[in-house]
Amino acid sequence: MRPKRPEAKTAAQPKPARRANVQAGERPARRPEGGEAKGKDAPETQRRRRRPARRGSGTAQGARDGARAEQVRAQRGSASDGAASPRIEGREDELRRAEGASESSPRREYEHENEHETERRTEVIAQIRELEAQLDRLIDEASRRDLAELAGDDEPEVAASAPAHEEAPPTERDEEKREDAWRAPRPSTPQVRPSVTSVTEDRSSASSVTGGETTVFDTARELLSTDFYLRKWGRLAMRGRSEEVDDFGFDPVYEQKARGILEFLYTRYFRVQTTGIENVPSHGRCVLVANHSGTLPLDGVMLKTAVKLEHASPRDVRWLTEDFIYHMPYLGSMMNRLGAVRACQENAERLLAKEQLVAVFPEGVKGIGKLFSERYRLQRFGRGGFIKLCLRTQTPIVPVAIVGAEETNPLLFRVEYLSKALGLPYIPITPTFPALGPLGLLPAPTKWQIHFGEMIDFSGHGREAAEDELLVNKLAERVRSTIQAMLDRAVGARRSVFFG
Amino acid sequence: MVPPKRRASLASASGEVGSAADGGKQDGGLGLARQRGASGRPLVGRRPETKVVAVTGASSFLGANLIGLLEEDARVARIVAIDVKPPGTAQQKTRYYEVDFTAVSAEARLSEILAAERVGTLVHLAFTSSPTHAVAFAHELESVGTRHVLVAARHAEVRKVVMWSQTLLYGAHPSNPNFITEQHPLRAGSIDGANEPWFSDKIEAEAEVARFADTSPHAIVTVLRTAPILGPTVNNFLTRYLSRRVVPVAMGFDPLVQFLHEVDAIAAFKLAIDRDHPGIYNIVGDGVLPLSTVIKLAGRLAMPIPHPIARRVGAALWLAQIAEAPPSFIRYLRFLCVADGTKARERLGFRPAYTTREAVLDFTNAQRLRDLKLLRG
């Protein structure tokens, strides 16, 4: 196996001279192979040393890690071979210069000594790297031996006892010894070093194949364990998800991912035109009251995107949706992650208490379920729940008129007798829907307009006004007529459904 | 295995005990008299207020840990442990009585014990923590057993009754608000028209306690509705569900869920014993997480099943004793059932040490060791 390899190689090939050369020049030179090599390598060794202690299963894990490290080393070695080396040496000079510069600035009087300093430093660094490599190897060996013992393998004892003293963490007393050591060629080094370069240089040789087998075996075992896939799966699956969501399930990472699609819908597909966005306050709570339309509730998403893209200080709109969305697979959780919240007084009050921007569609299901012939005719505004909410929490209202959503999925009929079983309020019949299957639910690329009206402030009425049904109805009617007027104006001015 | 944070939070819980001395003062006189009677001479000291706490369901997870915590509290003179098997955490202060609530004579025997031990506070934890196939037994234990306990408590003139309940009883409905407050009706009893005994027994028990609170105005009745308890050592249907390699979920649904760390659950009961705050409290961890995220954090594989099929499959698996929970629990994989802990925070002064996410991670760390057979249980 691998531990035997160095001896075999030294016997077979004129290795030592070359390796000495390798140690002096190439190896330290490869280290500063650009930021990524250094950055990757240092944590890797650290991690490797830490892991067996942290994880309960020392031996198996150690062996596996060792194998993986071996692979990495091999790859890195092959990359830096041959053609790459001059470039690297050049870089190394640069690095040395940079180091010298940083070193010399505080104490200029020792400038010519600094040259020595730098040289020594590089070499000391090289030594440290070397020792690290040794230590890694020893750990690998030890774990492998454990494994062998477990398997009952009568593998000969590895000559690990000789460099055992190297394993001790470098103390200050050792420091001097080592400084002497790097001047004199070290006798122990050629045998002890696993020599990354030697593995890569002799990739074709038979001796490294045995090493390769170990690696392949270990990797295969890792790949065959279910744990590996579960871990991988867990990590992959968390890609598009943040680990923490807010109280209502809004997921910022998911929203970031969906933003591309939303922006495409907003700017290219529906080509939304926005007016009066400055009426939306840039801070503090506010309720956006909008008309609801379109068989699919796309208007909430577009309203959210409008404020995100057009407003001077982009805010997250939390829009309130009907219950039935949560009966539908995928749609509910998707909307939830984007910022939709189920419409009820408790939720709305909680959101407003956090000074959020809340969008409500008081028409509710009746709004989306309007037939095409009733388009842009506002339905009854529920029971004025949003007015009560605004009075109770002393929140201003911004009326919003959304034009263009009515034509995305023109509703011809509502079928209600089967819908109960599906948890839907009705089954829509559009020119395309049941006929073309799910594809028929794709919205038509109409031209949208979103108009934000002047803010309506209810602070003149007290909190107790929320109990006054008559007043609530009156105020609700006032908001409704404002939005209706805005809608009429916009629809009247519009020349084409598809081009605005 | 006690993680450092747990130790810290237990310490902070007992720290709050010291600050909440007003709670124990009322029965302080009674406790002093008792002490005098027992030892023959009056106790002199700065803290004479001591109390006697009875715990039903003492060998359950909550009961045993609570007894361990009470053993360390200097102001608890005696702990009366009531169960069918002795708690492992019992020390000098604990006296164990074997009472089977499903037996006919339970009521009289319990009343005798409470009166003889002069119990001031009764903590009622004798509920099944996981759904069981022994439906009749569970009904006797929970619904009828609670009635027995309360009758005995009234007979023995117990000063305070603390009862365990669960936020799951609110039921998972698409019409739930995102945070259910204590006034919300308990709607878990009949889900999809089918009666689920595990819920309805507990709801009946809550109704019994509400009736008890109405008819005995002098008694302090505290009901703690805990969110599903998760943690490194607790073992219930939830931890078993999350320790499966492949976790079944409802296809296309990803409700927000909320957990309570086991340490926080125990601390909440300690708090309710120490302070006098009648009423119902939701005891929940901070924050919510989508179910899919929980499963991923736990390092498990989610297997989506369309819910119309899931009900049938679930019923079969439950019958075969392979599933952890009956099919009525599938609703909790589809809809929201998250409670609002504001009232407990403001009135009871309950501050959870772990968020939902931290509870999941803490469970996961222990579960990983269990997977590798490095930890038993």
Residue-wise pLDDT tens for chain B (377 aa)? Answer: 444 444 434 333 333 333 333 333 333 333 333 333 344 444 444 455 689 999 999 999 999 999 999 999 999 999 999 999 999 999 999 999 999 998 888 999 999 999 999 999 999 999 999 999 999 999 999 999 999 999 999 999 999 999 999 999 999 988 899 999 999 999 988 766 678 899 999 999 999 999 999 999 999 999 999 999 999 999 999 999 999 989 999 999 999 999 999 999 999 999 999 999 999 999 999 999 999 999 988 888 889 999 889 988 999 999 999 899 999 899 999 999 999 999 999 999 999 999 999 999 999 999 988 888 887 76
Question: Does B174 sit within 8 Å of A342, measured CB to CB?
Answer: yes
Tokens of A364: 């509710």
Average pLDDT over residues A146-157: 54
Contact check, Cβ <8 Å, A241/B254: no
> CB distance from B156 to chain A under 8 Å?
no
Query: pLDDT tens for residues A182-217?
Result: 444 444 333 434 434 333 344 444 444 444 556 777
Return d(Cα A371, Cα A431) in angstroms, integer: 12
Residue given tokens 């109390």 in the structure block: B51
Strand partners of residue B261: B230
Spatial distance between the Cα atoms of A159 and A44, rounded to a whole number of angstroms: 26
**CA nearest B374 in A: which residue?**
A56
The answer to whether A379 faces chain B, any CB pair under 8 Å, is: no
DSSP letter string over A428-490? Answer: EE-SSHHHHGGGGGSPP-PPPEEEE---B--TTS-GGGGG-HHHHHHHHHHHHHHHHHHHHHH
- Residue A449: count of CB within 10 angstroms of its CB: 22
Distance CA A312, CA B43 (A): 71
Residue A70 pLDDT greater than 80, yes or no: no
CA distance A319 to A306: 13
Helix, strand, or coil (residue A404): coil
Residue A161 near chain B (CB below 8 Å): no
3-class state of residue B100 by DSSP: coil
For residue B275, what are the CA distances in angstroms to A494, B25, B121, B161, B262?
A: 67, 10, 11, 12, 20
Contact B299 A336 (CB under 8 A): no
Which residues from chain B sit within 8 angstroms of residue A226, using beta carbons? 245
Cross-chain CB nearest to B293 (options A241, A248, A324): A241
Q: Would you say B344 and B211 are in contact if contact means Cβ atoms under 8 Å apart?
A: no
Structure tokens at A285: 């709570």
Q: Which of A234, A323, A333 sits opposite B174 (nearest CB)?
A: A323
* Residues whose CB is less than 8 angstroms from the CB of residue A190 and which lie 6 or more positions away in sequence, other chains included: A6, A10, A15, A16, A19, A20
Check if A346 contacts B (Cβ < 8 Å): yes
Nearest-neighbour CA in chain A from B325: distance (Å): 22
A326 inside 8 A of chain B by CB: yes
Across the interface, whether the CB atoms of A323 and B292 are under 8 A apart is answered no
Residues A237, B296: C-beta atoms closer than 8 Å: yes
- Please indicate whether, in this complex, the C-beta atoms of A244 and B300 are within 8 angstroms of each other: no
Q: What is the mean pLDDT of chain A?
A: 71
Q: Is A118 helix (H, G, I), strand (E, B) or coil?
A: helix
Which chain B residues have a beta carbon less than 8 Å from that of A346?
Answer: 177-179, 181
Any A CB within 8 A of B321 CB:
no
Q: CA A121, CA A127: separation in Å to the nearest integer?
A: 10
Q: Is B359 on the interface with A (CB under 8 A)?
A: no
Which of B170, B184, B253, B343 to substitute to test the interface with A, most A CBs within 10 Å?
B253
State which H helix or E strand residue A353 sits in.
helix A345-353
To test the contact with chain B by mutation, choose from A61, A321, A326 the residue with the greatest count of B C-beta atoms within 10 A, namely A326
Residue of chain B whose Cα is closest to the Cα of A227: B299
> Which of A332, A155, A338 lies closest to A246 in space, CA to CA?
A338
CB–CB of A247 and B179 under 8 A? Answer: yes
Q: Is B21 exposed, middle or buried (0-12, 13-18, 19+ CB in 10 A)?
A: middle
A342 touching B (Cβ < 8 Å): yes
Closest CA to B125 of B35, B56, B172: B56
Per residue in B338-375, is it b (16+ CB within 10 Å) or e — as a string?
A: bbbbebbbeebebbbbbbbbbbbebbbebbbeeeeeeb
Whether residue B339 contacts residue B283, with contact meaning beta carbons closer than 8 Å, is answered with: no
Identify residue A100 by its one-letter amino acid code.
G
CA dihedral A278, A284, A287, A288 (to 10 degrees): 20
Find the radius of gyration of the CA atoms of chain A.
Answer: 36
Instruction: List C-alpha distances in Å: A349 to A248, A411, A475, B186.
Output: 13, 33, 19, 22
Contact across the interface for A326 and B336, Cβ inside 8 Å = yes
Chain A: closest CA distance from residue B177 (Å): 6
Within an 8 Å CB–CB cutoff, is residue A244 touching chain B? yes
Q: Point out the residue among A233, A245, A350 whose CB comes nearest to the CB of B179.
A: A350
From chain A, pick out residues whose CB is under 8 angstroms from the CB of B301.
230, 233
The answer to whether residue A36 scores a pLDDT higher than 60 is no
The Cα B3–Cα A350 span in angstroms is: 35
Pairwise CA distance, residues B281 & B348, whole Å: 8
Half-sphere CA count of B342, side-chain side, radius 13 A: 7
Does the pTM of the predicted model rise above 0.90?
Answer: no
A to B CB pairs, distance under 8 Å: 91
pLDDT at A150: 59
- Token reading at B151: 């009758």
Cα torsion through A298, A304, A305, A308, rounded to 10: 180
B300 close contact with A: CB closer than 8 A: yes
Q: What are phi and psi of B173, to 5 degrees?
A: -135, 145
CB contact under 8 A, B252 and A328: yes
Residues 414-453 in A contacting B (C-alpha not used; CB under 8 Å): 423
| Tens digits of residue pLDDT in A359-383 | 999 998 888 888 888 889 998 888 8
Q: How confident is the model at residue A90 (pLDDT cuts 50, 70, 90)?
A: very low
Dist. CA B235–CA B229, nearest whole Å:
9
Q: In whole angstroms, what is the distance from residue B141 CA to residue B122 CA?
A: 17
pLDDT of A424 reads 79
Closest CA relative to residue B102, chosen from B78, B61, B132? B132
For A242, counting Cβ atoms within 10 Å of its Cβ (0-12 exposed, 13-18 middle, 19+ buried), the class is: middle
Give whole-number Cα distances, B322 to A80, A329, B237, B298, in Å.
56, 26, 12, 21
**What is the spatial distance between Cα A375 and Cα A441, in angstroms, rounded to a whole number?**
18
